[in-house]
Amino acid sequence: MITGASSGIGAAAARLFGAEGASLVLMARRQKLLQDLVEEVCEAGGAATAVAGDVTSVQDVTAAVAAAREVYGGLNGAFNNAGWSAMPAPLHLMDDSDFDATMNVNVRGVWNCLRQQIPALLENPDGGSIVNTSSTAGVVSPRFPPAPYIAAKHAVIGLTKAAAEEYGDRNIRVNALIVGATRTELMQQGFDLVPTLEQDFKDRSMLPRVAEPDEIAQAAAWLCSDASSFVTGGSIPVDGGFTAL
């Protein structure tokens, strides 16, 4: 199950996971883009099902997990990638609506997914793996994201650690990706808004460039696979060294 699958990192993950042989339930709000992606994955020889929905809705998340059971017989892994941020502004000038929307998508969205995915994974004798998308903003405080986004991505890491500890003895692994600046639709909006932003990220990274969505998808695929069988509770940086400086 991949959320935020209609574009950016989620879409790259769908293509990669499908090519690697995973059967996919793809969830996002934009139904047309989602359906186009399902057709692309299937035409390439993969298996994918679209469930249009919003991670802030328990009913929508429940429907996606139900689709995994109904279409494929169960759920073995999940990449909780849906995210959102308001445009940057000083904390005291931000509206409560920006705070609420940021927390709802980034924190409650992960919470809703964990609450529905974990019971499905508990049905598997071999457990499963969940990957949550956090950010460099979940570890440090970069200059660009607004305060609610930084708080939300810190919370994602907390939820990841808590779930990993609670369900490790049932062989359910839960990890977070510390994602650096990546050339997604949302990130490009930030680059367009702040002309110096892309160079700022490059200057603060050991690898002086912005990531491509497929590079993040590769890390998620590893964490969802048996190749990372002894990795749980981790916050794995895929950030070009941004948080190491």
Confidence of residue 190 (pLDDT cuts 50, 70, 90): confident
Residue pLDDT, tens place only, 29-42: 999 999 999 999 99
pLDDT at 194: 84
pLDDT tens for 81-96 read 999 998 888 999 999 9
Known catalytic residue at 149: yes
Comparing C-alpha atoms, which of 43, 105, 65 is closest to residue 35? Answer: 43
Mean confidence (pLDDT) of the chain: 96
Domains located in the chain, CATH noted:
2-235 (3.40.50.720)
Please determine, for residue 143, whether its predicted confidence score (pLDDT) is greater than 80.
no
Among candidate residues 17, 99, 149, 201, the one labeled active-site is 149
pLDDT in tens, 39-83: 999 999 999 999 999 999 999 999 999 999 999 999 999 999 999
Distance CA 52, CA 149 (A): 24
Cβ contact 11:213 at 8 Å: yes
HEC states along the chain?
CEECCCCHHHHHHHHHHHHCCCEEEEEECCHHHHHHHHHHHHHCCCEEEEEECCCCCHHHHHHHHHHHHHHHCCCCEEEECCCCCCCCCCHHHCCHHHHHHHHHHHHHHHHHHHHHHHHHHHCCCCCEEEEEECCHHHCCCCCCCCHHHHHHHHHHHHHHHHHHHHHHHHCEEEEEEEECCECCHHHHHHHHHCCCHHHHHHHCCCCCCCECHHHHHHHHHHHHCHHHCCCCCCEEEECCCHHHC
pLDDT digits (tens, 9 = 90+) for 154-180: 999 999 999 999 999 999 999 999 999
